[in-house]
Structure 1
C-alpha cells in the first residue's frame, strides 16, 4: 500500500482544516442546543391542602408526563439526571368535587420552576379521586434502631418515646390495617451513653393519610454491664400428689449480667428458680433440670450452677 507523504506545509493545512471542522461542529452543537424545544419528562406528584373532612384515594398513579419548554441543554440534562423535585398539586377544590384539573394550576406550579424551563401541559390533565369518610386513630410509635454498642454496654431499660402515640387520619379500610407508625432509623456506633434524640417519623407515602405530630423524642437508656452471682432457692412445681420431697442442693448459684446502676438492687427476690417433679413422675428423670421462671428485664443469664439438682421422694 502506498504511503502518502505530506510536506510540512500540507500537514499544517490539514491540521488547520480539521481544527476548523471541529470548531464548526462545536459551534453548530452549541447553537442547536441553545434553541428552545418542547420535550417530555416524568414528574412525581405530591399534594397539599388536603380536605380535612374527606378521606381520599387517588385513582391514578402518582406520576405524570409533563411537556416542558426549555433549551436543548436542559432537555439533554433532563434525560441524564432526571429532576427529583416533585410537582405539588393543590387539593383545596376536593372539598366540593372529586377531581382536580392540573392545567388550572400551571401558573403556581411553574412559579417554583426556572423561568426558562416551564411546564406547558401535563398528561393526564385531570386527576380523579375516590372518597370515604375521614376517621382518626391513635397508634403507638415504633422506634427503628440500627445501633452498635461499645463492648460491655447495652440498653439498660425501657425505651421512652414522647409522645408514645401519634394520631393518624384517613380512610377506614386503611386505618384498620395500621397497628403502629415507625420512626426513621436511629443509627450510631460505639454507643456508651444514653441516647436522647428528636427523631422524624417515617413520611406518609399515601396522599390520603395525615399523621400528627411529625417528630418524636426518643430516649434510649444505655449503661455498662457487669456480672453478678447470687444464690436463690429452688421451688418444686407440679407435686400433684403432695409427696414429701427434698432437693439437693436447695439453692443454686445464678450468674447474670446487669447494668452498673442496678447492680446493688439485684437480689434473690427478683429471681425464681423451679424444678418440675412431673419430669420424674411421667418421664422417670433421676435428677431435675433447674429453670429460671422469672428474672429482671435487661438482665442476661450467663449460667446456673448446678444445672440439675438431685431429689429424694418420701411416700
Structure 2
C-alpha cells in the first residue's frame, strides 16, 4: 500500500514536474558539453625526416601531452579516438642542432588536425636528442622457425634465404654489438610439401636505427622419408702402435632414414663406421662400440647392428 495516496490530477502534475527536471538536467549537460574547453590529450610521437648522417637517441618519453582547444563532447570522446593519438614530428632541424621545438611546427601539426580540435600547446614543448657517430654494417639473417611436419615428412635439404644478409645502420656503439638479425617466427603445422614464404624481419625498436630489407624469401625443401639399411665396413681408429687388428664382424648393418629423392643414391660411401682401439688400451674394453662418424646430410640413424664388435689383435 503506498504511503502517500495521490489523486489522478496530482499524479499528472508530479509526472510533469519530474519530466521537466529530467529535461532541465539533460539541457544543462548539453550546454556544458557544448561550451569550449581546453583539455589535455596524450600523443605518441612519430618521427619523420630523420637525419641520414647523424645517429640520434631521444632523451625523453615517446609521448607528449598536447593541450587541445575544443568542446566538452570532444573532450569526452578524445580518449577513444585512436586515429588521432599520434603526433608526427619533423626532425630535419637535427642536422644543425640537438633539439626540436614542437611549437615551431604548430601550424603543420594543426593542418593534420580537425578544425574544431586545434592544438594550442605541448608539454614538453622541446624534445632533446643525444647524438653519436653512425655506422652501416651487413649482418647475416637468423631464421626463427616453429615447424611441425606431417608424419614421415621432414626437411630434406638446406634452407635458402634470399637475401641471407641485411644491412643495418645506426649508432656505432649499438651496431657493433649486433652480429645477426632475426626474422619473425615462421610457424607452420602439418607440413608435407616444400615451403616458399615471404617472411618479415623483426622490427627495429630504436627510432634511430634502420634495417633493410624488411622482408626476405624463405625456401625449405621438404620430402617424405623412409628407412634404408646398408652394410658399412668398420674402421679401427686410434691405433698408434699399428697393431694388426681384425674386428668381428667386419661390417655392421646401419638402418637410417632418408628422403625418397635421395634413396636410390645412398650407398656405403656416404658413411663411416669406426671402432676406437684406445678404449681397449686405456680402459680395458673387451668389445668396442661402433660409432658412425660420417653420415649424409639430413639422414637420421635409426639403429646399428651389432652396436659393438669383437676384435682380435694379431702379433
TM-score by length of 2: 0.88
Q: Structure 2: how far apart are the matches of 1:181 and 1:204?
A: 10
Give CA-to-partner distance per residue, 1:183-235, whole Å, 9 cap, x none.
22222322222222222222221121122222221212222222222221122
Name the structure 1 match of 2:109: 109
| 1:156 lines up with 2:130 in the alignment | no
Which residue does 2:121 correspond to in 1? 121
Task: State the superposition RMSD in angstroms.
Answer: 2.6
Give the corresponding residue for 1:281.
281
After superposition, what is the alpha-carbon deviation per residue over 1:258-301, rounded to whole angstroms, capped at 9, x for unaligned?
22222222222222222111111111112111112121222222
Gap change, CA 1:91 and 1:250, over 3 Å in 2: same
Residue 211 of structure 2 corresponds to which residue in structure 1?
211
Aligned to 2:242: 242
Residues of 1 paired with 2:85 and 2:292: CA distance?
57
What is the distance in 2 between the residues matched to 1:256 and 1:14?
93
Counterpart in the other structure of 1:4: 3
**Deviation of residue 67 (structure 1)?**
2.2
Which position in structure 2 is the counterpart of 1:312? 312
Question: In 2, distance between residues paired with 1:112 and 1:260?
Answer: 61
Q: Find the aligned partners of 1:205 and 1:134 in 2 and give their Cα distance.
A: 17
* Structure 1, gaps ≥5 residues long: none
Q: Which moved more, 1:258-267 or 1:269-278?
A: 258-267
After superposition, residues 64-213 of structure 1 pair within 5 angstroms as: 64-79=64-79, 85-213=85-213
Q: Is the 8 A contact 2:196 2:218 kept in 1?
A: yes
Question: Matched residues in 2 for 1:192 and 1:254: separation?
Answer: 26
1:261 aligns with 2:273: no
Question: How far, CA to CA, are the matches of 1:17 and 1:309 in structure 2?
Answer: 107
Report which stretch shifted further, 21-30 or 200-209: 21-30
Q: Indicate if the aligned counterparts of 2:40 and 2:65 stay in contact, CA closer than 8 A.
A: yes
Preserved CA contact (<8 Å) 2:43 2:86: yes
Q: How many residues align?
A: 314
Whole-angstrom distance in 2 between the partners of 1:220 and 1:310: 43
For 1:43-82, list aligned pairs within 5 A.
43-79=43-79
Q: Aligned-pair distance for 1:165?
A: 0.9
1:31–1:175 Cα change, 3 Å? same
Superposition deviation, residue 34 in structure 1 = 4.0
Compute the TM-score of the two structures, normalised by the length of structure 1: 0.88
Q: 1:250 to 1:88 in 2, by over 3 A?
A: farther
Q: Distance in 2 between matches of 1:262 and 1:34?
A: 78
The answer for unaligned runs of 5 or more in structure 2 is: none
Distance in 1 (CA, whole Å) between partners of 2:17 and 2:149 is: 68
Distance in 2 between the 1:292 and 1:23 partners? 91
| Pair 1:107–1:155, CA change in 2 (3 A) | farther
